[in-house]
Amino acid sequence: MKFFGETLKLFALMAPPVAVTAFLSVSKQYDQGQKLATARKCALAVFILGITLYFSGERVFAFFGFTLDAFRIGAGALLFLSAVSLMNESPEKPFLPPGQDISIVPLAVPLCMGPASIGTVIVMGASAADTVERAVGAFSLLTASLGIYLSLRFSEVVQRRLGNVGMAVLSKLTGLLIAGIAAQVVFTGIHAFFP
Question: What does the pLDDT average to over 37-52?
Answer: 96
The model's pTM is 0.79
Residue 67 φ/ψ, nearest 5 degrees: -90, 165
**How many domains in the chain?**
1
Q: What residues have CB less than 8 Å from 55, skipping those under 6 apart? A: 125, 134, 138
Domain, as residue range, for 63: 2-193
Three-state DSSP at 67 gives coil
Q: How confident is the model at residue 90 (pLDDT cuts 50, 70, 90)?
A: low
Q: Which of 30-34, 82-86, 108-112, 179-183 has the highest mean pLDDT?
A: 30-34
Q: For residue 120, with 0-12 CB atoms within 10 Å meaning exposed, 13-18 middle and 19 or more buried, which class applies?
A: buried
| Residue in 74, 80, 61 with CA at minimum distance from that of residue 125 | 61
